[in-house]
A = this chain, B = another copy of it.
Amino acid sequence: MEIKRLSAAGLAIATLVFGVAATWPKQEVQRSPIYGVELPKGYRDWQVISVAHEAGKNNDIRAILGNDIAMKAYRQNIRPFPDGAIIVRVAWQYESSPRNDSVFPAPQSFVAGAPTNVQVSEKDSKRFAKTGGWGYAQFEKGVADPSVPLIQSCYACHIKLDAIDKQADLVFTNYSE
């Protein structure tokens, strides 16, 4: 902590002295705008809530993963999700697989290509009280997307679900047995 503070102070001084914005230490930018949500450590090892294909502009295939608090809430059907629940949506380019199809009787295999982005929904009913208790983030190659309009679009879309499915607690994904 002390090193971080000194480093931040040093950068602030550098900014003043040299008149240019110094580069902020990397760990300080790993949070989303508005919410300050981080990419959770070890999320790639989390359990699967479900999978989906998002056609249209995204055209991705995705795994929706949960930390232990989220998985417990899903499996015990607890809503709203308790504080500390984190849902991570990992997406990859949706691609046909000529390799697999060459073995199959017909072209039919669609697989995960290059990673696109990772979205995080974190529940904290106090910290994110203004947005239904959820904070949002999007990461590309592990770096938080700094776009404010992008991050604003998360809640703007999730709140729409509330009108048609009040029990969902603003979460699109249902658990798949």
Given A99-B164, A164-B99: A110 in contact with B50 (beta carbons within 8 A): no
What chain B residues lie within 8 Å of A102 (beta carbons)? 164
Chain A positions 52 through 71: 1 when the CB is less than 8 Å from some CB of chain B, otherwise 0: 11111110011101000000
A107: chain B residues at CB < 8 Å are 55
Is B108's CB under 8 angstroms from A176's CB? no
Please determine whether B108 and A55 come into contact, CB atoms closer than 8 angstroms.
Answer: yes
Within the oligomer, what is the number of copies of this chain? 2
**Chain A interface extent, by class:** 35 or more
A47 at interface by CB-CB < 8 Å: yes
Task: Give A residues with C-beta under 8 Å from B.
Answer: 44-48, 50-58, 61-63, 65, 90, 92, 94, 97, 99-100, 102-112, 115, 157, 160-161, 164-165, 172-174, 176-177
A92 and B62 alpha carbons, distance in the complex (Å): 14
Known: A100-B172, A161-B103. A56 touches B111 (CB 8 A): no
